[in-house]
Amino acid sequence: AQSVTQLGSHVSVSEGALVLLRCNYSSSVPPYLFWYVQYPNQGLQLLLKYTTGATLVKGINGFEAEFKKSETSFHLTKPSAHMSDAAEYFCAAWNYGGSQGNLIFGKGTKLSVKP
């Protein structure tokens, strides 16, 4: 079964600094990978997804992620953090178990942005 590990439950950056949120997945089969963002008391919003093709995926709000098969990683980056980026970020991978599978999430990384 698939599993997702997010390194660092809390990341703090200054406004304008690089954002790097780390995600590793476990499955040996080609993964479908996703990043979601969650603001307080809200549901999850899709930032970006990797299915096939280009390994550098661009998403909303200036975020991008790179799929690296050799490292089983899908790290999320943004060149310059904005105060509005403060939220919790979840990496997810499709789990092929069961009848059709479902989405498996990491434990999340809370991003704080200092002025």
Nearer to another protein by Cβ, of 62 and 101: the residue is 101
CB of 15 to another protein, least distance (A): 25
Tell me the sheet residues that pair with 110: 10, 88
How far apart CA 5 and CA 63 sit, in angstroms, is 19
CB of 115 to another protein, least distance (A): 26
How far apart CA 34 and CA 60 sit, in angstroms, is 12
The DSSP code for 72 is T
Binding another protein by CB under 8 A: which of 21, 27, 34, 67?
A: 34
How far apart CA 49 and CA 65 sit, in angstroms, is 9
51-70 binders of another protein (CB under 8 A): 51-52
Q: Which residues bind another protein (CB under 8 A)?
A: 4, 9, 32, 34, 36, 41-46, 49, 51-52, 90, 92, 94-96, 98-108
